[in-house]
Amino acid sequence: MVEHCDFVIIGGGIAGAGAGYALAREGKRVILLERESQPGYHTTGRSAALFAETYGNAPIRALTVASRSFLMNPPAGFSEVPILTPRGALHIGAAEKAGKLDTAYDDMRKLVGSLRRLTPAEVLERMPVLRAEAVTGGGIAEPDAMDIEVHALHRGFLRGMTAAGGRIVTEAEVTGLARNGAVWQVETSQGSFAAPVVVNAAGAWADRIAALAGVAQIGLMPKRRTALTFDPPQGMSVQDWPMVIDADEAYYFKPDAGRILLSPCDETDSEPCDAQPDEMDIAIAVDRLETVSTLQVRRLAAKWAGLRSFVADRTIVCGFDPGAPGFFWLAAQGGYGIQTSAAMSRVAGALALGRALPNDIADLGVTEQDLSPTRLRT
Ligand SMILES: Cc1cc2nc3c(=O)[nH]c(=O)nc-3n(C[C@H](O)[C@H](O)[C@H](O)COP(=O)(O)OP(=O)(O)OC[C@H]3O[C@@H](n4cnc5c(N)ncnc54)[C@H](O)[C@@H]3O)c2cc1C
């Protein structure tokens, strides 16, 4: 038996959940297929949970800005806890990175007016654990960067989708995909599904899904990124620290539930897989931290890795495939899929329904072409 609906979504990470939320709330019959027993098992459950309007290229930054109001004030019943809580970020570097910090500051403050350029002394005053020689270029304070309660956000989208009549099928690995007349027929380990539109939100596997469907790929590049947590020195309260980010993105660290989360900002090419941390990346992270600060990592509390998937221009891919009717891409969220998720939920919902981009997002300078898979085809 084949179960019919309006939209089949493949992948239950933040991208698929956000699209399902928007489409179900438009009254569409949505079925979301997720291979794992837990929809957040892959990249969505492995992020650093930061919302920073200075991060990424221009379309990504605009989509992050456009996400703020929903994340700050989600609809009633969306989440029992706040989705965003204040964190702040501090971008730092030694003297040779001062020019880079100046350029970044000039560029970013057009969009984020609250940024402040800091002297080395001001950086050290805010973060006394940093070594003076690591901050001779000063810093940029980003007071409006926030922590994201990722689990609540993801669950809010999924719960909102099912409350509006959508259905989630877990342990349903998509193994076949074919256009059959006016619908895509999707074969899974949990039966067959059919819909005029299939949304490919399969994260690192999005090009694999395209290959299954006989659709041209977008050149998706999954890249592994590692993170670890460790305990701060006894008696040191870290909860109010900002996230510290190197101007060259060679490392970042931030408070995380009483511990410190650290990443070496690695981007190692990977096949789509259940990514695992590499000991060398852990060692690099610890070395970089101990070089720029007086912190010491004596014992790891946790370590993990996840795949951040990019296309060549590092912008998200969202839109119908030009050569395959009803095949809708929602992929390449890169390192920004959580912070852009509220805007991308609305964008995916609108474009999949054949509508224009929401006005407020277009007003920020984002175009359909910025996101369309057609830009990746020669
Ligand atoms: C260390 C790290 C730090 C990060 N920090 C941040 C941050 O601070 N802020 C931010 O915004 N972003 C951050 N990111 C990026 C963010 O996590 C991703 O952009 C986002 O989670 C991607 O979501 P997704 O839904 O596209 O992918 P995923 O969460 O991977 O979801 C894709 C889903 O598709 C499913 N799937 C695949 N193939 C099939 C199939 N054949 N059948 C059925 N289901 C299938 C998978 O099982 C998976 O659950 C970070 C990522 C990492 C790794």
In this structure, are 204 and 226 located in the same domain? no
78 within a domain of the structure (yes/no)? no
109 within a domain of the structure (yes/no)? yes
Q: Which domain holds residue 356?
A: 2-52+150-220+313-376
Task: Specify the higher pLDDT residue, 145 or 378.
Answer: 145
- How far is ligand 1, taken at its centre, from the CA of residue 24, in Å? 21
In this structure, are 183 and 318 located in the same domain? yes
Residue 299 in tokens: 């014992």
Output the domain CATH number for residue 340. 3.50.50.60
> Alpha helices, DSSP H only, in the chain?
14-24, 58-65, 68-72, 98-108, 120-126, 150-163, 206-213, 279-292, 341-352, 359-363, 368-371
* Nearest residue by C-alpha to atom 19 in ligand 1: 337
Nearest to 157 by CA among 356, 358, 363, 345: 345
In this structure, are 160 and 295 located in the same domain? no
Strands 146-148 and 50-51: antiparallel
Residue 332 in tokens: 């390449």
In this structure, are 204 and 248 located in the same domain? no
Report d(CA 271, CA 307) in Å as an integer.
Answer: 9
Does the Cβ of 225 fall within 6 Å of ligand 1?
A: yes
Q: Does the pLDDT value for residue 54 go beyond 80?
A: yes
Q: Which of 255, 279, 310 is the last residue of a domain?
A: 310
Phi, psi at 198, each rounded to 5°: -115, 130
In this structure, are 124 and 257 located in the same domain? yes
- How far is ligand 1, taken at its centre, from the CA of residue 43, in Å? 3
71 within a domain of the structure (yes/no)? no
124 within a domain of the structure (yes/no)? yes
In this structure, are 139 and 225 located in the same domain? yes
CA-CA-CA-CA torsion sign (16, 18, 20, 23): negative
- How far is ligand 1, taken at its centre, from the CA of residue 315, in Å? 15
CA distances from 231 to 47, 176, 236 (A): 19, 46, 10
In this structure, are 356 and 372 located in the same domain? yes
Does the Cβ of 9 fall within 6 Å of ligand 1?
A: no
In this structure, are 225 and 287 located in the same domain? yes
340 within a domain of the structure (yes/no)? yes
In this structure, are 141 and 232 located in the same domain? yes
The 10s digit of each residue's pLDDT in 21-51 is: 999 999 999 999 999 999 999 999 999 999 9
Q: Does the pLDDT value for residue 136 go beyond 90?
A: yes
Atom number in ligand 1 closest to CA 49? 8
Residue written as token pair 């690695």: 266
Q: Does the pLDDT value for residue 378 go beyond 70?
A: no
pTM beyond cutoff 0.85: yes
Output the domain CATH number for residue 285. 3.30.9.10
Q: Does the pLDDT value for residue 111 go beyond 90?
A: no
* Nearest residue by C-alpha to atom 20 in ligand 1: 337
- How far is ligand 1, taken at its centre, from the CA of residue 203, in Å? 5
Burial of 274 (0-12, 13-18, 19+ CB in 10 A): exposed
In this structure, are 209 and 274 located in the same domain? no
Q: Identify the band that residue 110 occupies on the pLDDT scale cut at 50, 70 and 90.
A: confident
Sequence-distant (6+) residues with CB within 8 A of 264 are 226, 250, 251, 281, 282, 284, 285, 288
Q: Identify the band that residue 92 occupies on the pLDDT scale cut at 50, 70 and 90.
A: very high
Q: Which of 278, 310, 342 is the last residue of a domain?
A: 310
Q: Identify the band that residue 377 occupies on the pLDDT scale cut at 50, 70 and 90.
A: confident
In this structure, are 141 and 230 located in the same domain? yes
CA distances from 85 to 50, 56, 112, 143, 252 (A): 10, 21, 18, 12, 19
3-class DSSP assignment, residue 199: strand
